[in-house]
Amino acid sequence: MNDSFSSVAVSSVAAARDVDSSRNPVGDPGFLWDFWYPAARSSQIRGRKLVTAMLLEVPLVLGRTDDGKAFAMRDSCPHRGIPLSYGRFDGQAVECAYHGWKFEACSGQCIEIPSLTSQDKLKVERIFAGHFPCQERDGYVWVYITQPGTLPRGSQRAETIPAAPALPVFSKGYKITHLDCELPSHVDQGIIGLMDPAHGPFVHQSWYWRSRRSIHDKEKKFEPIANGFRMSTHTPSANSAPYKLLRRMTGEPVTTTIDFVLPNMRLEEIRSGKLWFSSRATVTPVRRDLCRIDFVAAWNVAAWLPLVVPVFRSFAKRFLRQDQLTMIQQAEGLKYNPKLMLIDDADRPAKWYFGLKAGLLESRRTGEPMVHPMAGPVTLHWRS
Ligand code: FES
Ligand SMILES: [Fe+2]
């Protein structure tokens, strides 16, 4: 499914770093606010059904208005806090199950309080339920999560919010498929697991991919990009069957480019002649002890073959299941708050991730431009 981020490595032991912040049971959960996160699959939001989700420990109720617009409200009535998801939705407004207050679904604005008499002076329209910007892309409902208490009321800040992320695609006809998997871990552990090259030969052993015996020296170039880093475009490892096959199909070299971008996104692009494969994995914090990988892949390679999607899905599922099992085992160990290490060079991407995160938070605090943890292009060496 991927190349070097899940392939091999060894290198000189250098700086080791503690990542205790990822296991803080109270206090700051270490989330990155003011970003888009996928809350649910678009296909889950049907008719007038209300669906619950959680992002960054914020409970959400999602739905779709009769004219097709997805919305995300805080799943809590501003009157007495009962989840709005217990209420009723008429295609426009959500009515709370407790005292029947009604809220316009997209703006959160209160439009009716049934207990008021004609004598009452309360300005109903000044009351808002919590609500978040919501957009659909690539089959996901994305929600722009702002830190509770800093939520902009109304839509005055809508223009300053970037568009939700879209998976890059390179031709009209293609196949697309989605997979997800929950990990019982802090998002930081999920992310560094995603960019870790050294676990591949141990966790993802299989005859069609690679075995422990295929471990060899790797050299990969990385470069800084805005809010992230890129494994520069290169020809992937020759010992993986899928790449050999692709090469045989086009007779042209195979190239791959892998980006990591804050807050949580790994993008991979594989090209060979006219054929392309594009994938995105996001690791989304649900709670501080739970995250979810959402994986979407699109390709035009043999898009005419009927079995391509199920075959790809079964391989990808197996990969995700192997990672999930490892993270479940790791979570068992992390319960007892052990000291952890990040070593060079195999864990350098993980160090960059923590550096990017710290740089972003610092820049938001000071208003100064973000300091990137990489001064320029870097070549890393490991065995995998
Ligand atoms: S708690 Fe929702 S209307 Fe009272
Ligand atoms: Fe993996």
Please write down the HEC assignment for all residues of 159-191. HHCCCCCCCCCCCCCCEEEEEEEEECCCHHHHH
For 49, list phi and psi in degrees, rounded to 5.
Answer: -75, 140
Burial 76-97 (b: 16+ CB within 10 A, else e): bbbeeeebbbebebeeebbbbe
Q: Which residue's CA is the closest to the ligand 1 atom numbered 4? A: 99
Please check the confidence at residue 22 and state whether its pLDDT lies above 80.
no
Distance (angstroms) between ligand 1 centre and the Cα of 85 equals 12
Residues 6+ apart with CB under 8 A from 135: 36, 70, 141, 142, 144, 163, 164
How many angstroms separate the CA atoms of 64 and 49, rounded? 8
By DSSP bridging, strand 140-145 and strand 175-183 are unpaired
Whose C-alpha lies nearest to ligand 1, atom 3? 99
* Rounded Cα distance, 19 and 351, in Å: 10
Q: Is residue 99 in contact with ligand 1, taking CB distance under 6 Å?
A: yes
Q: What is the pLDDT of residue 4?
A: 34
- 303 CA to middle of ligand 2, Å? 26
**What is residue 157's predicted lDDT score, i.e. its pLDDT?**
60
Q: d(Cα 359, Cα 275) in Å, to the nearest integer?
A: 37
- Whether the CB-CB separation of 344 and 197 falls below 8 Å is answered with no
Of the pLDDT bands very low, low, confident and very high (cuts 50, 70, 90), residue 212 is low
pLDDT for the residue numbered 25: 57
| Spatial distance between the Cα atoms of 88 and 116, rounded to a whole number of angstroms | 20
CA dist 193 → 17, 32, 85, 261, 366 (Å): 15, 18, 34, 15, 30
The span from the CA of 350 to the CA of 370, in Å, is 18
Proportion of the chain in helix, strand, coil states, percent, rounded to 5: 25, 30, 45
Mean pLDDT of 241-257: 87
Q: From the CA of 3, which ligand is nearest?
A: 2
Main-chain phi, psi angles of 75, to 5 degrees: -80, 65
Mean pLDDT lowest among 14-18, 66-70, 162-166 = 14-18
Distance from C-alpha of 360 to C-alpha of 369, rounded to nearest angstrom:
9
What pLDDT was estimated at residue 99?
A: 98
- Is residue 101 within 6 Å of ligand 1 at its C-beta? yes
CB burial of 312-347 (b: ≥16 within 10 Å; e: otherwise) equals: beeebeebbebbbebbeeebeebeeeeebebbbbbb
Q: What predicted TM-score, i.e. pTM, was given to this entire model? A: 0.89
Residue 147 DSSP one-character state: P
Ligand 1 neighbourhood includes 124 CB (under 6 angstroms): no
61 forms beta bridges with: 52, 73
Residue 79 Cβ inside 6 Å of ligand 1? The answer reads yes
How close is the Cα of 204 to the center of ligand 2, in Å? 7
Ligand 1 close to Cβ of residue 286 (< 6 A): no
- Percent of residues, the chain, with pLDDT higher than 90: 76
Kindly report whether the peptide bond that precedes residue 345 is cis, defined as omega within 30 degrees of 0. Answer: yes
Residues 292-312 pLDDT 10s: 999 999 999 877 777 888 988
77 C-alpha to ligand 1 centroid (Å) = 6
pLDDT, the chain, mean: 89
Owner of token pair 């209420």: 87
Helix (H, G, I), strand (E, B) or coil at 357: helix
383 vs 10: CA distance, rounded Å: 4
What percentage of the chain reaches a pLDDT higher than 70? 88
Which of residues 193 and 212 earns the better pLDDT score? 193
The pLDDT value recorded for residue 156 is: 45
Longest Cα pair distance anywhere in the chain, in angstroms?
82
Q: Whose Cα sits closest to atom 1 in ligand 1?
A: 80
Q: Which of 109-123, 237-251, 327-341 has the lowest mean pLDDT?
A: 237-251
Residues in a beta bridge with 269: 257, 278
Q: Lowest-confidence range among 166-175, 237-246, 255-264, 267-276?
A: 237-246
Q: Point out the ligand nearest to the CA of residue 316.
A: 2
Structure tokens at 207: 């005859």
Once rounded to an integer, what is the mean pLDDT over residues 117-121? Answer: 95
Within 10 A of 365 (CB to CB), how many other CB atoms are there? 8
Tell me the CA–centroid distance for residue 225 and ligand 2, in Å. 23
